[in-house]
Amino acid sequence: MKKLYSFATFLIPVGILGLVSCLGTSAQSTTTPTTTTPTIPTTTTPTTPITSEALCLERTSKFVAAGNLASSHCEGSFLVVESNGLSSEQMMVGITAWQQQVPLPQPYIGSNAFKIPLLPVAALTPSKTSGVGAVAIALNGVPIFNPSKPSQGGNQEVYDPKNDPKLIGELDSCGGHSGRGDDYHYHSGPVCFLAALGDKTGGVIGYALDGYPVLEFHDAGEKLPSNLDACNGHDHDGLGYHYHLTEKAPYVVGCFHGKVEGAFQPQTLHLRPPGGPLQAKITALTTGADGWTTVKYTYNALEQSVSYQKVNGCYQFRYPTPALPASPGSGTVNYCEKK
């Protein structure tokens, strides 16, 4: 019952959305000349500006309902989402194949914020996603990437299970990990965030870069979605097109159903050289009262750790000494943000 109610809050705005996309293309030609009966002076609202506002309100209210973990507002026909990219759930624990990156706060603000079309427009043909950069933003402000990591430094547009971070142990228990810019992001369903979110947003967990909503694993009534296309989306019950989380690849967004021109993926920090693969199992990530954040892990049956703290715009890192294979450093190293 609760579920159905919350889903209805999703249905209404998307209904408006569908209406607008119709009106947007064929308003003049389809407005039937109903001049016969001078009925009640229907306040035929000029739909476009009001609808933009309605869509803005609908989307920004989801971020508020999710706990205001990310801040959202609208600029023209775009939804703008600002965040530091960090999750308030447990990050990194559960990784068994670590790339030696850590989750640092990211500057996804101002001109480096996410920009997503408010009014999604279906593309003639779906476009591929790449393994570099976000394909969607979750309501907690954490970016969501496609199901592949970049191979040999190139974009990963074609899915290969060998490069699926989830299947090779690179994701934590919440579906995320940190990338080469020490940028935390999800590659699969953000299950811990979803559990914290509950029914607060009518099943919406975020928005894809083409503007379509991303819904949780189920449709209304706890039904698993059927007939998902290659992009992991479908359209039913007048809801309009939407993506779903799935247990199997592509997990979130397999390709873009809509146009992504104009959408903006923020840049990440590039503070320190990227690490390489280490068959380490991360067991804890904690921040102490002294301000130091520590990643604990086991490697070759030994307990190891990397700690870091920000002081005056610079990060001080403490690495194991001697350096572990493919480590970005050893001992104490300072990294300062480039102006």
Element (H, E) at 18: helix 2-30
Compute the distance between CA of residue 331 and CA of residue 203 in angstroms, rounded to an integer.
Answer: 46
The DSSP string of 256-306 is EEE--TT-BPPPPP--S-----B--EEEEEEE-TTS-EEEEEEETTEEEEE
What three-state secondary structure class fits 121?
coil
Residue 89 or 219 with smaller CB distance to Zn ion: 219
Compute the distance between CA of residue 72 and CA of residue 141 in angstroms, rounded to an integer.
Answer: 9
Element (H, E) at 334: strand 331-336
Give least dist CB 182 to Zn ion, A: 11
Q: Binding segment for Zn ion among 97-105, 191-199, 202-210, 213-221 (CB under 5 A)? A: 213-221
Residue 78 or 190 with smaller CB distance to Zn ion: 190
* 213 touches Zn ion by CB under 5 A: no
Give least dist CB 231 to Zn ion, A: 13
Give least dist CB 185 to Zn ion, A: 6
The DSSP code for 221 is G
Q: Binding segment for Zn ion among 18-26, 116-124, 176-184, 289-297 (CB under 5 A)? A: 176-184
Give least dist CB 43 to Zn ion, A: 34
Residue 206 or 225 with smaller CB distance to Zn ion: 225
273 Rama sector, left if φ>0, alpha if ψ -120 to 50, beta otherwise: beta
Report the chain's terminal Cα–Cα distance, integer Å. Answer: 53
Among the listed residues 133, 203, 206, 225, the single contact to Zn ion using CB under 5 A: 225
**Contact (CB, 8 A) for 191 and 202:** no
Residue 236 or 334 with smaller CB distance to Zn ion: 236
Cβ atoms < 10 Å from Cβ of 174 = 25
Q: The dihedral of CA 128, 137, 182, 198: what is its sign?
A: negative
* 164 touches Zn ion by CB under 5 A: no
Residue 73 or 218 with smaller CB distance to Zn ion: 218
For the segment 54-113, give every residue that binds Zn ion (CB under 5 A): none
Tokens of 99: 């790339």
**Contact (CB, 8 A) for 272 and 328:** yes
Closest chain position to Zn ion (CB): 219
Give least dist CB 156 to Zn ion, A: 10
| Number of residues binding to Zn ion, judged by CB under 5 A | 3
**Contact (CB, 8 A) for 194 and 245:** yes
Question: What are the φ/ψ torsions at residue 50 (nearest 5 degrees)?
Answer: -65, -40
Residue 80 or 266 with smaller CB distance to Zn ion: 266
Give least dist CB 233 to Zn ion, A: 8
Q: Binding segment for Zn ion among 14-22, 56-64, 72-80, 175-183 (CB under 5 A)? A: 175-183
Q: Binding segment for Zn ion among 110-118, 202-210, 215-223, 262-270 (CB under 5 A)? A: 215-223
Residue 225 or 254 with smaller CB distance to Zn ion: 225
Give least dist CB 191 to Zn ion, A: 16
* 179 touches Zn ion by CB under 5 A: yes
* 219 touches Zn ion by CB under 5 A: yes
Give least dist CB 189 to Zn ion, A: 14
Chain positions contacting Zn ion, by CB under 5 A: 179, 219, 225
